Chain A
Amino acid sequence: MNTLTTIDELGFAPALQQDVLEDTTSDHALLEATRSGDQDAFAELVSRYRNQITSYIYRMTNDYDGAVDLAQETFVRVYRAADRYQRSYAFSTYIYRIATNLAISELRKRKRRKLVSLTGFFQQSDGGEAKEFNPPDLRPLQDSDLVETERRNAVQRAIGTLPEKYRAPLILRDVDGRSYDEIARILETSEGTVKSRISRARGFLREKMHAYL
């Protein structure tokens, strides 16, 4: 990889340069190397982000195979658009934005195909998306692992029923632990909007998950 050469060319101060190497700017360097034809640099980028992106899209779409496909499509787009990439913001923001757009596009396609219409009896007035009827299982559970698994499944299903505009910021904040500022940049909206959407999303989840809280 010729990442060091690229970083050297940037002319940062030595202390800062060290940070750059360790922090997200090294993603920029990897992408620069990819742009110049370094396949290993791109492989390194993929290995850094494949789990995060797959997981994020999976939480958004609730479909693992589809999530893997979309994650691959995300990397294909990154690769294809490497020449046009601008380092005005972090690479993670850039790749998460692509992934978000793909996931939302997939959700809209599904909506058009009425694949999620089984729960369409419970329409929300504001989001327009279906609320899943998810009654709590009142049978006694014998294993704490089972309880935990059941609770996670319930959360995943509940997140899956959130309107997409609430779903993405909630996942980015509460699952991925990203800052409001970064989420705002990923979703290309204001920080205030992000905060209010996350608050609304938690409100929805509290209603759906009251049996587990």
Chain B
Amino acid sequence: MRKNTCELIRRELDELNLDETCTTAAIEHLRECGECREFQEKQTKLRQIVGSLGTVAAPADFDFRLRARLANESSNTSHFNFVSSFVWGPVLRRGLAAAALLLVFAAGAFLVRSKLNGPAQVTETAKQSPAPGIPEPPRQAATYPAPDIGKQKVVSLPPSKHPQKNKMDRFEQVAVSKNRRLATVDSSSTGANVLNGTEPLASSATIPIDASSVQSFTVSVDDGRGNAKTISVPAISFGSQRLMHNANQFAPKRVW
């Protein structure tokens, strides 16, 4: 019973304003109950402390900043609706980014395609090595021996010292593998001799191919980084058979 009374009195004290006086019943109870008296004292003190916090003033430039903010917002909304910018802004940005990315890819693909479709060029190495004589022996043992020497001829090519040339070679290899224009590409550093149908085979002693016998030969190309490409040329006949279809069209200087 007493506990209930204390609760009621405390609730009444809680709800009172600081300047208000409590009821006579509450005053009577406070005289008798020390706990409630202590509660009232602490509560009053706490409310006084909290109430003493007072009002914090806004900064002096509050109005100015607010006007600037409102002006900024209104100018923004006049150009672009706030709601639509909120909703469509991210979508638009993503869409534009995706379109730009697509454009870059398309341009890149077009460039690569146009390069690959263009006429294959003879490598610089071939131009720089005018010696039509016997090809130099390979500088490094980068030879990839063919399993059957009797049937196939292995030509080892030294790795190029120039990275740019390496790149070029690789590009040409890719071009060769894609377009199958083996006859027009010379990957050797010493330059391949030109064999055409008019020349007697005996005079072209640069490539030791026994043309009298039907055989194929293999060219191993090493780019110096351990990547090797083996180009296998099928059996050649110098009879009435054409060496390669339309080969002259793509290799104007050193035509097979």
The chain A residues found within 8 Å of chain B, CB to CB, are 43, 46-47, 50-55, 58-59, 64, 67-68, 71-72, 75-76, 79-80, 148, 151-152, 155-156, 159, 170, 174-175, 177, 180, 195, 198-199, 202, 205-206, 209, 212-213
Given A68-B58, A75-B66, A174-B47: A199 and B11 within 8 A (CB)?
yes
Bound-state CA distance A64–B241 (Å) is 93
Q: Which one, B11, B47, B49, B58, contacts A54 given CB within 8 A?
A: B58
Across-interface contacts of B73 in A (CB, < 8 A) = 76, 80
**A–B pairs, 9, beta carbons within 8 Å:** A51-B57, A72-B69, A76-B73, A151-B49, A152-B49, A155-B49, A180-B15, A202-B47, A206-B46
Known: A75-B66, A76-B73. 11 other contacts (CB 8 A): A51-B58, A54-B62, A72-B66, A151-B49, A152-B53, A155-B50, A174-B47, A195-B15, A198-B14, A205-B50, A206-B43
> B149 at the A/B interface (Cβ < 8 Å)?
no
Given A51-B58, A68-B58, A76-B70: A175 and B53 within 8 A (CB)?
yes
Bound-state CA distance A148–B59 (Å) is 24
Nearest residue (CB) in B for A52 is: B55
- Inter-subunit contact B65/A199 (CB<8 Å): no
Given A72-B65, A75-B66: A51 and B56 within 8 A (CB)?
yes
Across-interface contacts of B57 in A (CB, < 8 A) = 51, 54-55
Across-interface contacts of A202 in B (CB, < 8 A) = 14, 43, 46-47
Q: Which one, B51, B52, B55, B69, contacts A76 given CB within 8 A?
A: B69
The total of interchain contacts (Cβ-Cβ below 8 angstroms) comes to: 83
Bound-state CA distance A213–B41 (Å) is 9
Nearest CB of chain B from residue A183's CB, rounded to whole Å: 12
Across-interface contacts of B63 in A (CB, < 8 A) = 43, 46-47, 50
Bound-state CA distance A174–B15 (Å) is 11
- Inter-subunit contact A155/B42 (CB<8 Å): no
- Inter-subunit contact A213/B56 (CB<8 Å): no
Bound-state CA distance A77–B46 (Å) is 35
Q: Which one, A72, A80, A195, contacts B14 given CB within 8 A?
A: A195
> B180 at the A/B interface (Cβ < 8 Å)?
no
Nearest residue (CB) in A for B10 is: A199
> B115 at the A/B interface (Cβ < 8 Å)?
no
Bound-state CA distance A206–B47 (Å) is 10
Q: Which one, A59, A71, A198, contacts B58 given CB within 8 A?
A: A71
- Inter-subunit contact A213/B45 (CB<8 Å): yes
Interface size on B, residues (CB 8 A): 26
Across-interface contacts of B50 in A (CB, < 8 A) = 155, 159, 170, 174-175, 205
Nearest CB of chain B from residue A204's CB, rounded to whole Å: 11
- Inter-subunit contact A174/B70 (CB<8 Å): no
Bound-state CA distance A46–B69 (Å) is 14
- Inter-subunit contact B14/A55 (CB<8 Å): no
Bound-state CA distance A180–B14 (Å) is 12
Bound-state CA distance A177–B54 (Å) is 10
Across-interface contacts of A53 in B (CB, < 8 A) = 58
Bound-state CA distance A68–B58 (Å) is 7
Q: Which one, A71, A76, A80, contacts B62 given CB within 8 A?
A: A71
Nearest residue (CB) in A for B15 is: A195
Nearest residue (CB) in B for A50 is: B58
* B residues 27-56 in Cβ contact with A at 8 Å: 42-43, 45-47, 49-56
Q: Which one, A55, A76, A151, A180, contacts B56 given CB within 8 A?
A: A55
Q: Which one, A43, A148, A175, contacts B51 given CB within 8 A?
A: A175
Across-interface contacts of A58 in B (CB, < 8 A) = 56
Bound-state CA distance A46–B47 (Å) is 29
Bound-state CA distance A80–B73 (Å) is 10
- Inter-subunit contact B51/A55 (CB<8 Å): no
Bound-state CA distance A175–B132 (Å) is 102
Nearest residue (CB) in B for A195 is: B15
Bound-state CA distance A148–B42 (Å) is 17
- Inter-subunit contact A152/B52 (CB<8 Å): yes
Nearest CB of chain A from residue B78's CB, rounded to whole Å: 14
Bound-state CA distance A52–B56 (Å) is 8
- Inter-subunit contact A174/B14 (CB<8 Å): no
Scoring B46, B51, B57, B65 by chain A CB atoms within 10 A of each residue's CB, the highest score goes to B46
Nearest CB of chain B from residue A79's CB, rounded to whole Å: 6
